[in-house]
Amino acid sequence: MKQSTLDRIRKFTEDRDWDQFHSPANLAKSISIEAAELLECFQWSDTEYNLSHVKEELADVIVYCQDMLDKLGLDADEIVNEKMNKNEAKYPVERSRGSSAKYDELQ
């Protein structure tokens, strides 16, 4: 994410004195709630959805995730790459390509 976007997210929270409400538990709840609202965009159809609404809900998820990264002092690139290392080990291309099977069910 661009630094200017990160700064804007942080300023929004700071200007409203909302950091006091941003415990890790509250942020996790907020991420889950916003993710449910994103899912609601697809509740009755996998193909017919309002892209504008999807973008708003996805942005809410991303903002709360950034708030949690900040609260916990984490770096998005670092934790995503750590997880990708694990995923690549659990899902080797030669066994998982084209398969939706869970890692412990791969042939």
Q: Where are the domains of the chain?
A: 1-74, 75-107
Report the C-alpha dihedral over residues 12, 17, 19, 21, rounded to 10 degrees.
-120
Cα distance between residue 3 and residue 99, in whole Å: 37
Tell me the pLDDT band of 106, cut-offs 50, 70 and 90: confident
Q: What pLDDT sits at residue 107?
A: 79
**Mean pLDDT across 26-45:** 98
CATH topology of domain 1-74: Helix Hairpins (1.10.287)
- Give the model confidence (pLDDT) of 54-105 as tens digits: 999 999 999 999 999 999 999 999 999 999 999 999 999 999 999 999 988 9
Q: What pLDDT sits at residue 71?
A: 97
In three-state secondary structure terms, 97 is coil
Cα distance between residue 1 and residue 49, in whole Å: 26
Q: Model pTM greater than 0.85?
A: yes
